[in-house]
């Protein structure tokens, strides 16, 4: 689904729960190469390939893959995509060791895996990926005529959001969520540091935004700035309670 000039949202269904969509973002840039933001669960190459095909591209046309963070549903098919495309991988330096497999994914503690054997099964299918370019808050990318990395920790320590300055598109990863076009705060159950996550939301609200893409919940395009302000108020109120 094209949401702005050169920006496509690629909804990919979760294999176990097809009603739940993961919203990858494709940034088409004929001059500087195409970029995919996040890479679904393990074994989702076929679904991602089909979504790219709908946007008129193939896996081989990807020049870079940005991971917003280390979670399983964001890096899952990264290794397979890199193998097929030779794309360079970008992620925040704080999350890179988890993505590269030198540290166990932060939220997947032995206790959690004990309780949720289905997650353990998925984790067993996860392949590590090397991060070619570690990025930080404020890193500028030669993508879509001006793109900024914004560190938005809280959900994970190295969580980033991506701001495309020209089309005013904000790709939030899991720093924000959405439901039916309505913007919502981070998923509290999956966000270990809500204080920091709330500060990250405030930081995002300083941007001038026309379109917000949430990995869980999809596109928010109605009064995006106003909705961001509302979520800042709601998130800080929830923390005060």
Query: Which strands, in side-by-side order, build the sheet including 17-27?
Result: 2-4, 7-14, 17-27, 34-37, 62-66, 88-92, 133-135
- Compose the 69-88 pattern: x for residues touching Zn ion by CB under 5 A, - for all others: --x-x---------------
Q: How far is the CB of 162 from Zn ion (least distance, A)?
A: 15
Shortest approach of Zn ion to residue 177 CB, angstroms? Answer: 9
The pair of structure tokens assigned to 180 is 């039916």
Shortest Å, Cβ 73 to Zn ion = 5
- Smallest gap, in angstroms, from Cβ of residue 69 to Zn ion? 8
Cβ partners under 8 Å of residue 112, min gap 6: 119
Half-sphere exposure of 210 (CA within 13 A, CB side): 10
Rounded to 10°, the helix 194-204/224-240 angle is: 160
**16, two tokens:** 């176990």
Which span (34-42, 85-93, 172-180, 204-212) binds Zn ion, by CB under 5 A?
172-180
Q: Is the CB of 95 or the CB of 174 nearer to Zn ion?
A: 174
Give bridge partners of residue 24 from the DSSP assignment. Answer: 10
The piece of 101-109, 127-135, 137-145, 170-178 that touches Zn ion (CB under 5 A) is: 170-178
Cβ-in-10-Å burial (0-12, 13-18, 19+) of 115 comes to exposed
- How far apart, in whole angstroms, are the C-alpha atoms of residue 146 and residue 130? 25
User: Contact 33/65 with Cβ under 8 angstroms?
Assistant: no
Q: Pattern 143-162, binding to Zn ion, x per CB under 5 A? A: --------------------
- Other beta carbons within 10 angstroms of residue 84's beta carbon come to 15
How far is the C-alpha of 92 from the C-alpha of 103, rounded, in Å? 15
Q: Point out which span in 26-34, 42-50, 142-150, 174-182 binds Zn ion (CB under 5 A).
A: 174-182
Sole binder of Zn ion in the list 78, 174, 183, 201 (CB under 5 A): 174
We find the least distance from the C-beta atom of residue 174 to Zn ion, in angstroms, to be 4
- Of 33-41, 42-50, 64-72, 233-241, the window that binds Zn ion (rule: CB under 5 A) is 64-72
Nearer to Zn ion, 3 or 22 (CB): 22
Q: Which stretch binds Zn ion (CB under 5 A): 8-16, 65-73, 76-84, 225-233?
A: 65-73
Q: Which is nearer to Zn ion, 62 or 214 (CB)?
A: 214
Residue 151 near residue 92, CB atoms below 8 Å: yes
Minimum gap (Å) between residue 60 Cβ and Zn ion: 26
- Contact residues toward Zn ion (CB under 5 A) are 71, 73, 174
């Amino acid at each position: 689904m094209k949401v702005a000039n050169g920006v496509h949202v690629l909804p990919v269904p979760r294999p176990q729960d097809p009603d739940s969509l993961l919203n990858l973002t494709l940034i088409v840039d004929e001059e500087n190469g195409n970029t995919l933001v996040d890479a679904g669960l393990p074994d989702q190459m076929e679904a991602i390939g089909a979504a790219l095909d709908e946007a008129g591209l193939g896996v081989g046309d990807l020049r870079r893959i940005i991971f917003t963070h280390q979670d399983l549903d964001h890096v899952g098919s990264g290794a397979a995509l890199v193998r097929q495309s030779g794309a360079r991988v970008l992620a925040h330096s704080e999350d890179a060791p988890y993505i590269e497999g030198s540290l166990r994914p932060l939220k997947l503690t032995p206790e959690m895996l004990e309780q949720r054997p289905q997650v353990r099964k998925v984790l067993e299918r996860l392949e590590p990926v090397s991060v070619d370019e570690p990025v930080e808050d404020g890193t500028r990318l030669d993508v879509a005529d001006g793109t900024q990395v914004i560190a938005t920790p809280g959900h994970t320590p190295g969580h980033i959001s991506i701001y495309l300055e020209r089309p005013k598109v904000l790709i939030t990863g899991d720093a924000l969520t959405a439901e039916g076009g309505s913007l919502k705060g981070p998923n509290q159950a999956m966000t270990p540091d809500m204080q920091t996550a709330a500060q990250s939301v405030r930081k995002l609200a300083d941007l001038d935004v026309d379109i917000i893409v949430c990995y869980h919940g999809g596109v928010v395009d109605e009064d995006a700035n106003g909705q961001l302000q509302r979520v800042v108020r709601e998130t800080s109120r929830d923390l005060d309670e």
